[in-house]
Structure 1
Amino acid sequence: MIRLSVADGVARVALDRAAARNALPTAAWHDLARVDAWVPTDARVVLLASDVPGIFSAGADLADLARLSHDVPARAAFRTAMRAGIDAVAALPIPVVAAVEGGCHGAAVALALACDLIVAAPAARFAIPPARLGIGYPAADVARLVARVGSGQAARLLFTAAPIDAEEAHRIGLADLITDPHAVAATIAANDADALRLLKRTLRDPTDPAHNRAFEDSFAAPRFAQGVSRYRQP
């Protein structure tokens, strides 16, 4: 269901459930909640991708959602499992790139929003269709959506439930780039691991004054000394 492979500093976390178009059951959200434990400590970037051609993910598994109509206790269990999986991806200490190379629907958009970069291939499509099903969308994920695209575009996506293509997603800020996600991940992985972790911490809370001391301390990094020595004038 979720496969991990590591090469050249890139930890590729791939969804692999072709029979269900990568729909994520509750068990998959529980797996994602443990993502920090199984991404190697020497990885410099996580690439969240799909092993199923033409689809990133259809979102939450409708079989799981269907039973929530009558199983009241299961509603909170599903919500907390989904929340734990998404927030675990957001909490990873290294950069996370969402590789959206096909359809990305419903809860899968929430999962992509937890990543630092959403990189869309030209064939990517995004949709948030809970209004068609008569249900809502988790508040934390609505907040992330608004933070990315603004309240007007968030309202458009949620109220219409209509799909948008990669170009439109890029225009409104839902996708950061339209290019090869694997190339973006490789470019990030070529950089210094400690610097990437520091930059991610700073991006999370730029107002934390502790980052100023960390910035000063970073000048003692071996990679900085090596880089400066290459450009130092004789």
Structure 2
Amino acid sequence: MREPFDIGRRLAAEALGTLLLVATVVGSGIMADSLTRDGAVALLANALPTGAILVVLIVTLGPISGAHFNPAVTMVLALRGVLAPSQAALYVMAQVVGGLAGVVAAHAMFGLPLIEFSAKIRTGGGQWLSEAVAAFGLVATILAGLRFRADAVPWLVGLYITGAYWFTASTSFANPAVAIARSLTNTFSGIRPPDVPAFVAAECAGALIALALATWLLGHDAGGPAREREA
């Protein structure tokens, strides 16, 4: 079946969605840090906008590109046959570029240097396990949602990420493109560049485990090509 939107528009949607997602993560973190010294309040002020923007972005851009905004999600859907490997690679490139642009946009809005490498240490077994769990839960939520309630996926993803900010030690990046982008902001949401590769590896591992489990648990229709139009 012919795609309703050509690859150029789909890549633009992925880049734009990731840009707005990262701008929200970084911008709300900067705003929270400027308004309160209470870490719990700052985390809440960071988590709620992130969950909310995900709902908006998936609803509005999902019909164009599928609303992945996440290389780990794209990897899983490519393995399920939704995207050709060449298209998946282009999706990932668009997401990474969009994420980097999101950091620049957030910094520009708050009058900060456009690029500033983070000094925030995020490393260790607990952090890596948290990222694996966060990505596992995100992919499992998407695949189960697509299997049973595709119309609810935007809300499921937004609510899951909001919750995962609080039950993971890493505050749930769950997204390689977001992790890469956040290495370029020395603000509340930053991560040191040397800590990024382990985060990305943990996120991909968690996503693959979720795919394997969902394929068995949900049956042969789990995230099948006909269902995976929004993620």
* TM-score above 0.5, yes or no: no
**Greater RCO structure (CA 8 Å; 6+ sep):** 2
TM-score, structure 2 length as denominator?
0.28
TM-score, structure 1 length as denominator?
0.28
Structure (1 or 2) with the greater strand fraction: 1
Structure (1 or 2) with the greater helix fraction: 2
